[in-house]
């Protein structure tokens, strides 16, 4: 059956295909799938075949994508589709009771979790609602959150779930004023009542002046300013931005691509969301300066699929910038052509990994590439030199040009320069984002003064300082930094100090856990995230991440055996450092650190004897249900042991 595709839809598809080089039509796979799902509600078999034919590829190539990216559905959802975030900060704030409440209100009998790969989409009997758990929606500071269709709803208390479903319900967008300890560059306009995303507002506040200044400089001068600034990537790895840029040869013959990584999805991180939603033009300006510096004529903003509003805002910002001739043909009358395109993801955390992102942008499953040989700066998008930078990093470029690299480097500490946005979520009084001078504040200042400290009557038990993959720090420990020993509260919030303390600054997502938290439960929630998000390309991560999750789940349900902590640790050790990409570390570090820091809690849930290796075999269900695990008489018959191998024949 050939579906009838309306002319308008097909026109939009043609336009999307035009965003990519003519011989790279496959790149339009995700955009076409989004357009199809927006129109038809789900991706039918006919849709897969139709899109494949449109792009000149095999249907299997599209089926591979539909099943890889969880946002794509192969069956209709309800008229209103609810996505409840179930990742750590939201789960701590009540996402699970919220889900139960919503399911009850919409009369949805949710399918049991855990059998398949995706969280199941369940539809209400009247077809009005459908509901699913999703992984981190990058709004951890306002947990718990959910999305109803494209709208984000924040601070949704389970008891007020009914209000959510009321027709007049509108998203909550209250912004707190800056804290006195903050030093705002990137966020200086975020949360201002009088500030809008319009280009006029941006221009009124001095917008695009830095671009005008930059184009008067030579390319090498800009790269050198960025190098001098000491700016380190804000996406997670903290790689020096200027060094990355200098991998691009000034006389490069192939096209050079710039990709803005707006796939913000590390649990605990929610900074790029606000830049995009509230001050998009500074990102556009930062990117334009970068394009000019790197001789880039085509740049893509890879924005996660769960930011549909963000994508619309950026589309509009690009149109406005084009109307003002900041981009497009002959930008600023300099004879320099530069185009920006928005490319939406579809719910895969691994797209945050730069080579996974590139594969995704090429219209494939987001399988990270092996390095060597596929270093993006050499063999990136379409095997051309490519620079992938985080949203916040690219915004900083604008300020580096504004104040000069040397002046910028005076902010923060040596090797940890500039400001960065720290996102605090979890068990604090005032979760939220804070832009701080890197290293100028301590963890204690951020958590206790800015975020209001622990909730009344509670004590902080542990902190995950750089997104959920960062190793957990235990309150009460002392940490050996370069020159001194400090308490957790005294650790300066910068790259090097957090690394010295045995964790990392990562993406700036600080998740605070208080003394009410069960560490096995916490780790299990994190493990579920990574098991769900593992792309499955390489063996250790694919098999190990799910195995770790299954062990912690069984321990939680009362089936823990004495060997479990040792097994867990060893499984994590067998993943970290042995995978294609850094996801291996990301999924192993939580387990490794939780086990070392909280051994007693894990031991307490691992009390049963190890079941015998010979039949009868025990299922996990039996391990959970039975209080005693009998050993098999055959396996432990002393006669066998004595006879040894001689007894075999």
Partner 1 sequence: MPDPNPPMVNVQINGAWHQFPKGTRLIEACEQAGSYVPRYCYHKKLSSPGNCRMCLIEMGMPKMGPDRKPLLDDDGQPEINWMPRPQICCASDVSEGLGVRTNSPLVEECRRGVMEFLLINHPLDCPICDQAGECRLQEFSVEYGRQDSRFLENKVKKPKNIELGPRVTLDDERCILCSRCIRFSKEIAHDDVLGFIDRGSHTVLTAHPGKRLENNYSLNTVDICPVGALTSADFRFKMRVWFLKETKSFCTSCATGCNTIIGTREGEIFRQTPRENDAVNSCWMCDYGRLNFDYLQSDRRLLEPLVREQNILQPATWKRALETIAAQLKPYLGGQTAILASGRMTNEELWLAACLAKLLGTTLIDIVPRTGPGDDILLSEDRNPNSNGARLLGVASKSGQVLPQIKEAIWSGQIKALISLGENPVRCGISTDFLARLPVYVVMDILSNEATGFASAVLPSLGFAEKRGSMINGKGRLQRLNRAVPGPGQARDDWEILRDLIQALDGGNSIYTIEDVFRQISESVPQLAGQTLSRISDLGLQVIETDRSPNPPGEPSEEKVRERERQTHPQ
Residues that bind partner 1 in the complex, under the rule CB under 8 A: 45, 48-49, 57-61, 63-64, 67-68, 70, 116-118, 348, 365, 367, 370, 372-375, 378-379, 383, 531-540, 542-547, 550-551, 554, 561, 563, 567, 573-575, 577-580, 611, 613, 618-620, 623
Buried b (16+ CB within 10 A) or exposed e, 280-296: bbbbbbbbbbbbbbbbb
Closest CB to partner 1 among 272 and 533?
533
Residue placing its CB nearer to partner 1 in the complex, 125 or 616: 616
**Closest approach of Cβ 253 to partner 1, in Å?**
12
Q: Supply the minimum distance, in Å, between the C-beta of residue 410 and partner 1.
A: 32
Residue (87 or 282) nearer to partner 1, CB: 87
Q: How far is the CB of 615 from partner 1 (least distance, A)?
A: 13
The Cα–Cα gap between 427 and 95 comes to 14
Name the residue nearer to partner 1 (CB basis): 18 or 620.
Answer: 620
Q: Provide, rounded to whole angstroms, the least separation between the CB of residue 362 and partner 1.
A: 14
Least distance in angstroms from the C-beta of 66 to partner 1: 8
Smallest distance from partner 1 to CB 355, Å: 12
Q: What one-character-per-residue DSSP string does 392-459 give?
A: HHHHHHHHHHHH-HHHHHTSEETTEESEEEEEEEESSSS-EEEEEETTTSBHHIIIIIIS--SPTT--
Q: What's the closest the beta carbon of residue 53 comes to partner 1, in angstroms?
A: 11
User: CA 272, CA 269: separation in Å to the nearest integer?
Assistant: 8
Choose between 59 and 240: whose C-beta lies nearer to partner 1: 59
**Nearest to partner 1 of 69, 340 (CB atom):** 69
Q: State the minimum distance, in angstroms, from the CB of residue 114 to partner 1.
A: 10
Q: Which is nearer to partner 1, 326 or 349 (CB)?
A: 349
CA-closest candidate to residue 500, choices 439, 432, 565, 591: 439
**Nearest CB to partner 1, comparing residues 464 and 538:** 538
Provide, rounded to whole angstroms, the least separation between the CB of residue 249 and partner 1. Answer: 11
Q: What is the SS3 assignment for 626? A: coil
Is cis: bond before 144, omega within 30 of 0?
Answer: yes
Show Cβ contacts of residue 231 under 8 Å, excluding neighbours closer than 6 positions. 240, 241, 242, 393, 396, 397, 400, 408, 417, 418
Nearer to partner 1, 348 or 519 (CB): 348
Contacts of 351 (CB under 8 A, 6+ apart): 263, 265, 302, 304, 345, 357, 360, 366
Report the distance separating Cα 267 and Cα 369, nearest Å: 23
Q: How far apart are the first and last CA of the chain?
A: 66
From the list 98, 112, 114, 106, the residue with the least C-alpha distance to 153 is 98
| Cα 403 → chain centroid | 31
Residue from 407, 408, 505 nearest 465 by CA: 505
CB of 562 to partner 1, least distance (A): 12
Would strands 473-474 and 478-480 be described as parallel, antiparallel, or unpaired?
unpaired
Among the listed residues 28, 77, 35, 76, the one whose alpha carbon sits nearest the alpha carbon of residue 54: 28
User: Whose CA is closest to 165, among 109, 102, 110, 77?
Assistant: 102
**DSSP notation for 130-161:** EEEEES--S-GGG-S-EEETTEEE-S--GGGH
* Choice between 198 and 573, CB closer to partner 1: 573
């Amino acid at each position: 059956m050939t579906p009838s595709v309306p002319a308008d839809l097909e026109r939009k598809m043609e336009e999307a295909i035009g965003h990519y080089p003519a011989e790279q039509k496959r790149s339009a796979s995700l955009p076409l799938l989004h357009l199809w799902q927006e129109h038809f509600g789900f991706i039918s078999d006919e849709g897969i075949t139709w899109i494949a034919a449109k792009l000149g590829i095999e249907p299997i190539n599209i089926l591979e994508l539909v099943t890889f990216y969880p946002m794509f559905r192969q069956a209709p959802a309800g008229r209103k589709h609810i996505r409840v975030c179930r990742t750590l900060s939201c789960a701590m704030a009540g996402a699970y009771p919220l889900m139960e409440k919503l399911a009850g209100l919409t009369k949805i009998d949710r399918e049991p979790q855990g059998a398949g790969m995706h969280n199941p989409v369940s539809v209400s009997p009247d077809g009005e609602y459908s509901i699913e758990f999703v992984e981190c929606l990058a709004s951890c500071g306002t947990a718990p959150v959910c999305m109803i269709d494209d709208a984000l709803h924040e601070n949704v208390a389970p008891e007020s779930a009914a209000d959510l479903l009321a027709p007049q319900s509108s998203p909550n967008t209250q912004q707190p004023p800056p804290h006195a300890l903050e030093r705002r560059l990137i966020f200086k306009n975020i949360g201002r009542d009088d500030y809008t995303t319009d280009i006029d507002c941006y221009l009124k506040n001095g917008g695009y002046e830095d671009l005008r200044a930059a184009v008067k400089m030579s390319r090498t001068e800009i790269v050198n300013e960025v190098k001098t600034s000491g700016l380190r990537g804000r996406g997670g790895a903290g790689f020096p931005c200027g060094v990355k840029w200098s991998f691009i040869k000034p006389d490069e013959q192939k096209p050079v691509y710039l990709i803005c990584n707006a796939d913000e999805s590390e649990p605990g991180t929610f900074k790029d969301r606000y830049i995009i939603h509230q001050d998009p033009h500074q990102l556009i300006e930062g990117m334009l300066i970068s394009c000019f510096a790197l001789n880039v004529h085509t740049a893509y903003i890879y924005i996660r699929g769960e930011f549909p509003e963000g994508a619309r805002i950026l589309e509009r910002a690009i149109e406005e910038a084009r109307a003002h001739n900041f981009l497009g043909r002959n930008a600023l009358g300099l004879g320099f052509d530069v185009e920006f395109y928005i490319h939406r993801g579809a719910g895969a955390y691994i797209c945050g990994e730069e080579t996974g992102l590139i594969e995704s942008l090429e219209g494939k499953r987001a399988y990270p590439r092996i390095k060597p040989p596929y270093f993006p700066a050499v063999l990136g998008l379409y095997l051309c030199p490519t620079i992938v930078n985080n949203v916040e990093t690219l915004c900083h470029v604008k300020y580096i040009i504004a104040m000069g690299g040397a002046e910028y480097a005076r902010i923060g500490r040596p090797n940890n320069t500039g400001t960065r946005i720290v996102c605090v979520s979890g068990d604090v009084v005032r979760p939220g984002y804070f832009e701080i001078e890197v290293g100028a504040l301590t963890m204690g200042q951020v958590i206790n003064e800015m975020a209001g400290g622990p909730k009344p009557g509670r004590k902080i038990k542990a902190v995950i300082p750089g997104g959920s993959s960062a190793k957990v720090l235990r309150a009460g420990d002392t940490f050996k930094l370069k020159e001194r020993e400090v308490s957790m509260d005294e650790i300066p919030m910068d790259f090097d100090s957090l690394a010295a303390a045995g964790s990392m600054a990562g993406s700036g997502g600080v998740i605070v856990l208080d003394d009410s938290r069960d560490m096995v439960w916490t780790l299990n929630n994190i493990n579920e995230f990574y098991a769900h998000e593992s792309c499955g390309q390489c063996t250790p991560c694919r098999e190990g991440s799910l195995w770790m999750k299954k062990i912690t789940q069984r321990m939680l349900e009362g089936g823990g055996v004495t060997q479990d902590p040792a097994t867990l640790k060893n499984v994590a050790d067998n993943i970290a450092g042995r995978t294609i990409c850094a996801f291996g570390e990301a999924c192993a570090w939580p387990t490794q650190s939780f086990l070392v820091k909280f051994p007693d809690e894990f031991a307490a849930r691992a009390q049963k004897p190890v079941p015998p290796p010979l039949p009868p075999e025990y299922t996990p269900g039996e391990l959970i249900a039975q209080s005693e695990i009998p050993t098999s008489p055959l396996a432990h018959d002393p006669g066998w042991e004595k006879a040894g191998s001689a007894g075999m024949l």
